[in-house]
Amino acid sequence: MNNFNINTDIYFGQGSLDKLEEIRNKNVLIVTDEFMVKFGIVDKISSKLENCNIHIFSDIKPDPPVETIAEGIKKLTKSKPEVIIAIGGGSPIDAGKAIKELSNKIGDYGSPELIAIPTTSGTGSEVTMFSVITNRNNNKKYPLVSKNMTPHIAILDPELVASAPQTITADTGMDVITHAIEAYVSTNATDFTDAFAEKTLKLSFEYLPIAYKQGNYLVAREKMHNASCMAGLAFNVASLGLNHGIAHAVGGKFKIPHGRINGMLLPLVIEYNADLSNGSINKYSETAKKYYDIAKILNLPAQNVRIGVNNLIHEINNLKRMLKIPRTLTELGISEEIVKELKEELIKTTLADVCTQT
Ligand code: NAD
């Protein structure tokens, strides 16, 4: 028996932020980062909340650490909000989710409604049950999982993403593609998760290059914002794989933005997972066949599994070059000595390739 559920009410498109005008006379906690305050996004959102008592917690940094979550819990237990609005990229949204969930674990602070408003098109966190929290002592990233953390409402207003610079558009866009591909080849994939992953991939390969080149073009921003959310719906049920496992470990260790390390790894993980060297012309793994399906979905030349998978890898590498995603850890300024140590640690995995390819 399979199941697919969407636990979040999703409002999308230009003007969707107006949904907030329905919130009146409430005690509200906004969880966000400094950029959102400085750039006027918090003011814009606050102005829509009629007669509300607004508390702002804007200390979230990328890859939020446990200590910040603890500060947020203090803020929540003092302010006792009826509504939490998490605004920003995946980091503030993950923080809002963890703050809400962990507060409820330690006391009765009601069940605040959680509204997630993403300002990057990347993580899909606005519809998932995951929250990734970092332990700064060992630089490890821990995914918390609870259905209770799934936001009640997601608002996808493309105007909020228009300010994202090219590097953030590129990194987060590669995150979207990685989510969709990992969900699609997952052993938990179903027709339902495949539908969201397929649409994500079509939208992303068409609109990510446009959003990257013309950041103010709202049609491209809207398509990428929708794609990011749809990828979240897919992996929330199908889950992710090797790419994310390695990305969390290496990204945490070297403080590499999540989407960037996902994008760096993606072609290598596809090559490893598809394992074409072991396939004969009619005998490839189910995983290889699913990568081949993706090549067909993207209308790439795919006369057989081998050609399809190789063209998918080629297409991703072309996109990465265009988006200026680094190819190696040394390109990121990580010393060859440290890369060598990492390589020795991980010599038997495909990760070795990302360290050594030049
Ligand atoms: P982020 O939230 O860490 O933000 C990165 C930077 O982008 C910040 O400096 C932020 O201020 C800036 N930024 C955000 N929106 C902007 C905008 N519109 N204009 C200009 N600058 C903007 O980045 P992210 O990639 O969205 O999130 C990454 C985090 O999400 C990681 O911790 C990752 O592990 C986590 N994650 C969670 C899930 C999930 O399901 N919960 C899935 C994938 C990743």
Summarised one tens digit per residue, pLDDT across range 284-315 is 899 999 999 999 999 999 999 999 999 999 99
Q: Please name the residues in contact with 298: beta carbons below 8 A apart, sequence gap of 6 or more.
A: 201, 202, 205, 312, 315
97 CA closest ligand 1 atom index: 41
183, 161 in Cβ contact below 8 A?
no
Q: Is the pLDDT of residue 345 over 90?
A: no
89 Cβ inside 6 Å of ligand 1:
yes
Quick one: tokens of 193? 């998760």
Q: Which of 34, 35, 128, 260 to mutate to test the pocket of ligand 1 (most atoms within 8 A of CB)?
A: 35
Q: Is the pLDDT of residue 358 over 50?
A: no
Using pLDDT thresholds of 50, 70 and 90, give the confidence band for residue 281: low
Q: What residue owns the CA closest to ligand 1's atom 20?
A: 164
**Å from CA of 90 to ligand 1 middle:** 4
Using pLDDT thresholds of 50, 70 and 90, give the confidence band for residue 350: low
Using pLDDT thresholds of 50, 70 and 90, give the confidence band for residue 357: very low
Q: Is the pLDDT of residue 351 over 60?
A: no
Distance CA 191, CA 205 (A): 21
96, 125 in Cβ contact below 8 A?
no
241 Cβ inside 6 Å of ligand 1:
no
ipTM of this complex > 0.95? yes
Q: Which of 125, 148, 240, 265 to mutate to test the pocket of ligand 1 (most atoms within 8 A of CB)?
A: 125
157 Cβ inside 6 Å of ligand 1:
no
**Residue 131: enclosing H or E segment and its boundaries?**
strand 130-135
pLDDT at 139: 87
Q: Which of 44-53, 195-204, 207-216, 332-341 is predicted with the least confidence, judged by mean pLDDT?
A: 332-341
- What's the whole-number mean pLDDT along residues 271-287? 83
- Give me the chain's average pLDDT, please: 94
pLDDT at 282: 65
91 Cβ inside 6 Å of ligand 1:
yes
Using pLDDT thresholds of 50, 70 and 90, give the confidence band for residue 344: confident
Distance CA 97, CA 328 (A): 33
**Å from CA of 119 to ligand 1 middle:** 8
- What's the whole-number mean pLDDT along residues 33-50? 97
**Å from CA of 89 to ligand 1 middle:** 3
One-letter amino acid identity for 250?
V
Q: Which of 3-7, 168-172, 258-262, 333-337 is predicted with the least confidence, judged by mean pLDDT?
A: 333-337
Q: Is the pLDDT of residue 355 over 80?
A: no
Question: What structural domains does the chain harbor?
Answer: 9-161 (3.40.50.1970), 166-356 (1.20.1090.10)
- The helix-helix angle for 191-213 and 286-297 (nearest 10°) equals 50
Ordered strands of the 83-88 beta sheet = 9-12, 153-156, 113-118, 83-88, 27-31, 53-57
- What's the whole-number mean pLDDT along residues 115-123? 98
41 CA closest ligand 1 atom index: 18
88 Cβ inside 6 Å of ligand 1:
yes
Using pLDDT thresholds of 50, 70 and 90, give the confidence band for residue 33: very high
Using pLDDT thresholds of 50, 70 and 90, give the confidence band for residue 106: confident
- What's the whole-number mean pLDDT along residues 106-122? 91
134 CA closest ligand 1 atom index: 32
pLDDT at 152: 98
329, 354 in Cβ contact below 8 A?
yes
pLDDT at 329: 92
